[in-house]
Structure 1
Amino acid sequence: MSSEQSPPDVAVQPGRASQAWLAFERVGKRTIVSRARAKSPVRLLTPRNHGHAAWVYTSLLGDGLVDGDRLSLELDVAEGASALLSSRGHTRVYRSPHGCRSEVVAKVGEGALLVWVPDPTTCYTGARYEQRLDIQLAPGASLVLMELVTTGRKANGERWTFSRFSSALRVHREGRALFDECWLLDPAQGAISERLGRFDAIGTVLLVGPACASARESLASGLGALPITPRAGLICSASPISPDGLVLRAAAVSPELLQHTAQDWLSFLPSMLGDNPWAHHG
């Protein structure tokens, strides 16, 4: 895994190309989805909930991404709005010699909140996948983001056997980068399964902005007090990234353990959103 520089673009051949647009606005005390448009194979689902935030789940027609797929999402959260964006099931990436790509550009208005908590990404044998996420925060905006990556079909002998995975995440406020990182997992740098050792899942949780202040303080102190245990099934860390930001990282011996840990870190979401996204998930 490398975070020193962004990798070159994957050479993508013709496949399914999909664009999607989402916009959220605050109306009174609640947030509504003011725009939701997507081209196949992406679908946008807007379930009701009991809170003040608006929720959208993405799903793919078919079982996952195949060679040449290119997905693009433009997202706008207006001033004072609160939005949750998640997915229906894992993002599965199949054998793709020419590569697949996903790109998201999001704008979060003043005093607004974006919660981005998709299910894990799982790349199978021979998959080549590149994703980019660029988030622009206005003054006073907040962000909760979760990114989890898991090994392939381990029961079938697939363990970190994809051809290439890269994930670039950039968060900036008023032109200043708060977080700018790229993960790169490529066998050209050495066998991925050997480099990741016993771990079958890795993940990042990012908390930025005033809405996350108390959660950041609690998590930073809690993780800092954890003992170091040799050969632990889970290792994690917490690091400040700005005056109002915190990044949490974890590696786990199973995808289930990582997902449970990340959701435990985000256990404050029901009170923040007014409803529990994990209870509605599935």
Structure 2
Amino acid sequence: MSKALAHSPLRLLTPRNHGHAAWAYTSSFGGGLVDGDHLSLEVDVAPGATAWLSSQGANRVYRSPSGCRSDVSARVGEDALLAWVPDPTACFTGARYSQTLAFQLAPGASLVLADLVTSGRSARGERWAFSHYASTLRVHVGERAIIDERWLLDPSHGTLPERLGRFEAMATLLLVGPALATAREALHARVTSLPVTSRASLIPSSSPLGTHGLLVRAAAVSVEELVRTTRDWLSFLPALLGDDPWARRV
């Protein structure tokens, strides 16, 4: 880690590890985002470097009538690897939240991304009770767009609990770049070989993005199962980082 700077309500934790990668964790001073908060994170991964970015805990979004947002912009140099794997986002009742994830990869760069969103505080009867959730994902390799999409969950388009049914969480996994060629092939084969069963607790899909990337989606009836499954699907990461970022976490 060459340098790190953060201003309230965001702070950055940069723990030492036994590998060659730089690790950084985001955290908020108030335990979550409140009305009017706007986080903006800019990341540069130098050519040939490896970086792991995650979060200290779930991204909790509290009631926010005027909205709050989070923007991540990352540039990944040639032959570098960035793993952006934060904990899930949980929007509580009345939350209005938007995020933008933008990644610019140089030729030969690689990216691992995991983005999970949950129904909120289901144990308190708050299932998909937020007011607005929007997520924009853009990934470019050089001048070429690998993915450019926007998710929108808004009750004005229909009651969210009815639309999302029995599912408590959804995930997006993205693997791009030459360092992940073997991992993409193995993960695609693994996901597509899963049996299709009625009322399954986990429903995944896997879509190759040309020869450069792989996009995996999943919906689950349990947040814990989805987190556990995505970590299992990313079990190749410790070897690329030189250390296991999940070893000290339950």
TM score, norm. by length of structure 1: 0.87
Any idea what SS the aligned residue of 2:127 has? coil
2:235 maps to: 267
Out of 91, 112, 115, the residue aligned to residue 147 of structure 1 is 115
Distance in 2 between residues matched to 1:225 and 1:116, nearest whole Å: 26
TM score, norm. by length of structure 2: 0.98
Distance in 2 between residues matched to 1:97 and 1:81, nearest whole Å: 41
Distance in 1 between residues matched to 2:239 and 2:142, nearest whole Å: 28
Out of 55, 79, 85, the residue aligned to residue 111 of structure 1 is 79
Q: Give the aligned length.
A: 250
1:41 maps to: 9
Distance in 1 between residues matched to 2:159 and 2:2, nearest whole Å: 46
1:184 maps to: 152
Any idea what SS the aligned residue of 1:227 has? coil
Distance in 2 between residues matched to 1:79 and 1:241, nearest whole Å: 24
Q: Which amino acid aligns with 1:132?
A: T
1:27 maps to: none
Q: Which amino acid aligns with 1:195?
A: R
Do structure 1's residue 53 and structure 2's residue 21 form an aligned pair?
A: yes
Q: Which amino acid aligns with 1:110?
A: E
Give 4+ residue runs of structure 1 displaced > 4 Å after superposition. none
Distance in 2 between residues matched to 1:266 and 1:74, nearest whole Å: 24
How does 1:218-257 map onto structure 2 within 5 Å? 218-257=186-225
Unpaired segments ≥5 residues, structure 1: 1-32
Any idea what SS the aligned residue of 1:198 has? coil
Could you report, residue by residue, the CA deviation over 1:139-186 in whole angstroms, capped at 9, with x for unpaired residues?
Answer: 000000000000111111100000000000000011211011111000
Any idea what SS the aligned residue of 1:71 has? strand
Distance in 1 between residues matched to 2:181 and 2:248, nearest whole Å: 25
Distance in 1 between residues matched to 2:187 and 2:134, nearest whole Å: 27
CA drift at 1:64: 0.4
Aligned-residue Cα RMSD (Å) equals 0.8
Distance in 2 between residues matched to 1:151 and 1:130, nearest whole Å: 15
Any idea what SS the aligned residue of 1:155 has? helix
1:134 maps to: 102
Could you report, residue by residue, the CA deviation over 1:14-63 in whole angstroms, capped at 9, with x for unpaired residues?
Answer: xxxxxxxxxxxxxxxxxxx1110000111111111111111001100012
Q: Which amino acid aligns with 1:235?
A: I
Q: Which amino acid aligns with 2:165?
A: G
Out of 112, 121, 127, the residue aligned to residue 89 of structure 2 is 121
Distance in 2 between residues matched to 1:242 and 1:150, nearest whole Å: 29
Distance in 2 between residues matched to 1:197 and 1:105, nearest whole Å: 33
Out of 109, 131, 139, the residue aligned to residue 163 of structure 1 is 131
1:20 maps to: none
Could you report, residue by residue, the CA deviation over 1:115-158 in whole angstroms, capped at 9, with x for unpaired residues?
Answer: 00000000000000000011000000000000000011111110
Distance in 2 between residues matched to 1:270 and 1:103, nearest whole Å: 26
Distance in 1 between residues matched to 2:13 and 2:152, nearest whole Å: 31
Distance in 2 between residues matched to 1:56 and 1:86, nearest whole Å: 6
Distance in 2 between residues matched to 1:210 and 1:122, nearest whole Å: 32
Distance in 1 between residues matched to 2:99 and 2:25, nearest whole Å: 18
Out of 30, 50, 69, the residue aligned to residue 62 of structure 1 is 30
Q: Which amino acid aligns with 1:272?
A: L
Out of 202, 209, 214, the residue aligned to residue 177 of structure 2 is 209
1:9 maps to: none
Any idea what SS the aligned residue of 1:89 has? coil
Distance in 2 between residues matched to 1:173 and 1:271, nearest whole Å: 24
1:85 maps to: 53
CA drift at 1:281: 3.8
Out of 192, 195, 200, the residue aligned to residue 163 of structure 2 is 195
